[in-house]
Amino acid sequence: MKRNGISSNTTENNGYHNGAVRLAEEILTVVEPDEDFIGDNHVGTSKDTPMLEDAFDATDEEKIEQIAFHFGKIMDIMGLDRSDDSLKGTPGRVAKMYIKEVFSGLNPANKPEVKLFENKYGYDEMLVEKNITLHSYCEHHFVPIIGKAHVAYKSNGKVIGLSKINRIVKYFAKRPQVQERLTEQIADELKRVLQTEDVAVIIDAEHMCVSTRGIEDVNSATVTSHYSGAFKTERTQNEFLKYLD
């Protein structure tokens, strides 16, 4: 099994281990001086989540093992005593949380299955699913993004179960994200599944990288939107926004 960084045969966990220090040095060599500026520069990103070609060569269990090992080394570098009862299980807990929970949307195997139904009731107005709970993580600092998603579509002869909209939002949120990309990914998936361009998505979220570090502004929120098809018209947009009041 391929491992990047330090090997697993380092010494005890007290102090600054040679292996952990080497890992820190390797990481720091690829970081430009002004990380905050670079972190807000989206020029090099895209609609697709940046992934390595071999991202799914390792199993979830192998990834959990590797992440736990390296997170333990991060704790060592910080000077934390991992022999303490409160800390000794932390690397494993964090690793499982990353793979099985908060970043589970990176794995295409977790993509929700969506079944379409004929619109037999002849409903031809917009359908709005609002206040969908959204938990994601900023890919610049790996801290939470917490907010709500509001989604609408007009049927093209097909409909989906309401909970499937929530599941689509959750799937794309469960990965390191940029809010603009998250908005587009949700909209693109809904258009693909529903076979219609008549889709609208609004995300209103608080970024912990803004409220708990840096500027520490606890009052601001970020709003992003996507309108396509019929939702490009001002009248349809206004109708959608009216339902969100």
State the catalytic residues.
138-141, 179, 207, 209
- Least Cα distance to 13 among 65, 99, 91, 66 occurs for 91
Q: Quote the CA–CA distance of 76 and 66 in Å, as a whole number.
A: 16
What counts of helices (H) and strands (E) characterise the chain? 8, 7
Q: Burial of 56 by CB count in 10 Å (0-12 exposed, 13-18 middle, 19+ buried)?
A: middle
**What region does 17 belong to: left with phi over 0, alpha with psi -120 to 50, or beta?**
beta
Going across the sheet that includes 222-227, the strands are: 176-177, 126-138, 144-154, 199-207, 222-227
**What region does 164 belong to: left with phi over 0, alpha with psi -120 to 50, or beta?**
alpha
**Across the strands, what pairs with 159?**
117
Pairing of strands 222-227, 126-138: unpaired
Amino acid at 49: T
Pairing of strands 116-118, 199-207: unpaired
Q: Quote the CA–CA distance of 210 and 220 in Å, as a whole number.
A: 8
